[in-house]
Amino acid sequence: MSANEHDETIDLTLKVWRQRSGGAPGQFETHEMKGVSVHSSFLEMMDVLNATLVRAGKEPVVFDHDCREGICGSCSMVINGQAHGAEPETATCQLHMRKFRSGETVFVEPWRADSFPVIRDLMVDRSAFDRVMSAGGYVSANTGSPPDANATPISREDSDQAMDAAACIGCGACVAACPNSSAMLFVGAKVSHLARLPQGQPERERRVVAMVQAMDSEGFGNCTNHYECSKACPKGIGVDVIAQLNRDYIKATVVRSN
């Protein structure tokens, strides 16, 4: 649904989640937003709200953001029940207000997952992703004298598929969208990226086992094929990376132990 082409502004009722800290109770706070420019982004609409709150001496709504062009993965809002809102392949920061109707009520909530505790309001702690990455999301190649970059040809298909998976911005929408709070799209993306490349082969088995163990110990759930993760992913990463993750994991554990 989009705003009427000729309307330059819309009015909204915002229901924004406010929560002091992970342990404190939270609740929705209602704000009437009048005259929101349809050309502004969702975060710019939130900026306007915050400026109003600050001028009134009230604490602004805390949310994570930085690049505002859909690549740093900081922004993280559940909008009307959907991670990053309803637009496909669009991070919250690239969602624009022309996608909303005047008079609409819009609910804004943080990612909700046990592994992403709320810091305040709409900001959550996603350091679990860094810990999963440090378990094995890399190629062990010290800075120094690697072989010439063209020494090992890589087929264009492999390289393109590696890039498809490597496009992950680590925002965590996959976890927020999953009824099990599974991080398998995130982990699968890294495992698939490196599995496609010759550089990733020496540590391939060790990597998948270590990352899955870390993922489990961080409390992320398992995949039960809802595919909400892929639908919420602002980079459109496909569930084939989860299949790859499962294949590699089975190969590295069951097959190997037999």
Partner 1 sequence: MNDTKTTASPRLDSKAPGGPIAERWDKHRFDLKLVAPANRRRFKVLVVGTGLAGASASASLAELGYDVTALCIHGSPRRAHSIAAQGGINAAKNYQNDGDSVYRLFYDTVKGGDFRARESNVHRLAQVSVNIIDQCVAQGVPFARDYGGMLDNRSFGGAQVSRTFYARGQTGQQLLLGAYSAMMRQVQAGRLRVMPERELLDVVKVDGIARGAMVRNLRTGELERFAADAVLLCTGGYGNVFYLSTNAKKSNVTASWRATKRGAFFANPCFTQIHPTCIPVSGDYQSKLTLMSESLRNDGRVWVPKAAGDKRPANQIPEDERDYYLERRYPSFGNLVPRDVASRAAKERCDAGFGVGPTGVAVYLDFLDAIARHGRATIEAKYGNLFQMYERITGDDPYTKPMRIYPAVHYTMGGLWVDYNLETTVPGLFALGEANFSDHGANRLGASALMQGLADGYFVIPYTIAGHLAGRSLQPVSTSHEAFDAAEADVRASVDRLMGIRGSRPADSFHRELGKVMWDQVGMSRTKAGLEDALVRIRGIREAFWGDLMIPGDARDLNMELETAGRVADFLEFAELFANDALTREESCGGHFREEHQTAEGEAKRDDENFCHASAWEYNGANKPFTEHREPLEFEYVHLTQRSYK
Taking the least distance from each CB to partner 1, the nearer of 196 and 249 is 196
* 105-109: strand order across its sheet: 26-37, 9-19, 105-109, 78-79, 82-83
Tell which positions 8-37 bind partner 1, by CB under 8 A. 37
C-alpha R_g of the chain:
21
Q: Do the strands 82-83 and 78-79 form a parallel or antiparallel pair, or are they unpaired?
A: antiparallel
CB of 221 to partner 1, least distance (A): 21
Taking the least distance from each CB to partner 1, the nearer of 120 and 223 is 120
CA dihedral 150, 156, 161, 166 (to 10 degrees): 30
Binding mask 133-172 for partner 1 (x = CB under 8 A): xxx-xxxxxxxxxxxxxx--xxxx--x--xx--xx-xx--
Contact segment (CB under 8 A) with partner 1 among 24-32, 71-79, 104-112, 241-249 equals: 71-79
Return the DSSP state at 62. P
* Maximum separation of any 2 CA atoms in the chain, in Å: 67
Q: Which of 16, 42, 74, 223 binds partner 1 (CB under 8 A)?
A: 74
Taking the least distance from each CB to partner 1, the nearer of 56 and 254 is 56
Tell which positions 109-128 bind partner 1, by CB under 8 A. 119-120, 125-127
CB of 1 to partner 1, least distance (A): 14
Taking the least distance from each CB to partner 1, the nearer of 39 and 251 is 39
Torsion angles phi and psi, residue 99, rounded to 5: -85, 0
CB of 95 to partner 1, least distance (A): 8
**What is the rounded distance in angstroms from the CA atom of residue 187 to the CA atom of residue 201?**
17
**What is the rounded distance in angstroms from the CA atom of residue 64 to the CA atom of residue 75?**
5
Of the candidates 8, 54, 14, which has an alpha carbon nearest to the alpha carbon of residue 32?
14
Tell which positions 192-231 bind partner 1, by CB under 8 A. 193-194, 196-197, 199-200
CB of 249 to partner 1, least distance (A): 19
Number of residues lying near partner 1 (CB under 8 A): 77
Taking the least distance from each CB to partner 1, the nearer of 55 and 179 is 55
Number of CB atoms found within 10 A of residue 201's CB:
12
Q: Which of 43, 83, 211, 242 binds partner 1 (CB under 8 A)?
A: 43
